[in-house]
Amino acid sequence: MTFARFLVVRRDAQFIPILFWGMYVSLLLFVTSDRWIWELNEDYPVQPVAEMIRSHTPTGQIVYTSHPYNRPSLNFYSDRQVVVANSIELQQYWQHWDVPVYFLVQPSPELKFEDGRILGETSGWQLITRHGRKV
C-alpha cells in the first residue's frame, strides 16, 4: 500500500494494479488466518459436528436439524445440506418417510425417535438415523 501511495504521488498509472494486488494479498492473508470468523453468533463449534456428519452420512444426503437457524458453515464443512426443521416437522419426517433420514439433534425430552440409531455424538449434538419404514 505504501508503494501504491508512492506511485500516486509520482502520477504513475501503475498504482492501480499495485493497489488491487496489495488489497487482494491482504485479504487473502486475513481470511486464511485464525482471526477470520466468517459466521457470527456461533453457539457451538461447527467443525467437529461437520466431521461427524461427513463421516456418517452418504454424499449428497440431506440432514435435518433441530437447530433454530441455518448455519452456512455447517453446510460448507460437512459438504451436506443441513436443513432447519422444528420438532413437529422432524417427527413427521421420521414417521412418514420411506427413505433413510438423518437428524442432527440435541437430546431433548420432546424429541423421541423410536427405532432410531445414534451414529455419532459430539459437542452436545447427536446424529440419528432411521433406514426406511418398517413394514
From CA 73, how far away is CA 12, in angstroms rounded?
Answer: 43
Q: Hey, CA dihedral for 73, 90, 100, 98, is it positive or negative?
A: negative
Average pLDDT score over residue span 34-53:
80
Q: What b-and-e string marks burial along 103-120, b requiring 16 or more CB atoms within 10 Å of the CB?
A: bbbeeeeebebeebeebb
In tens, the pLDDT along 2-22 reads: 666 677 777 777 777 877 888
- The architecture that CATH gives domain 46-130 is 3-Layer(aba) Sandwich (3.40)
pLDDT for res 40: 64
For residues 37 and 72, the model is more confident at 72
From CA 88, how far away is CA 44, in angstroms rounded?
Answer: 23
How much is the pTM?
0.68
For the residues of 19-58, what is the DSSP string, one character each?
Answer: HHHHHHHHHHHHHTSTT---S-S--S-HHHHHHHHHHHS-
Strand partners, 102: 63, 129
In tens, the pLDDT along 85-135 reads: 998 898 888 887 777 889 999 887 777 777 788 899 998 899 999 865 543
pLDDT for res 135: 39
For residues 63 and 16, the model is more confident at 63
For residues 73 and 40, the model is more confident at 73
For residue 54, pLDDT over 90 is answered with: yes
Average pLDDT score over residue span 27-41:
76
pLDDT for res 34: 72
Q: What is the four-CA torsion angle of 115, 81, 70, 95, rounded to 10 degrees?
A: -30
For residue 58, pLDDT over 90 is answered with: yes
pLDDT for res 134: 46
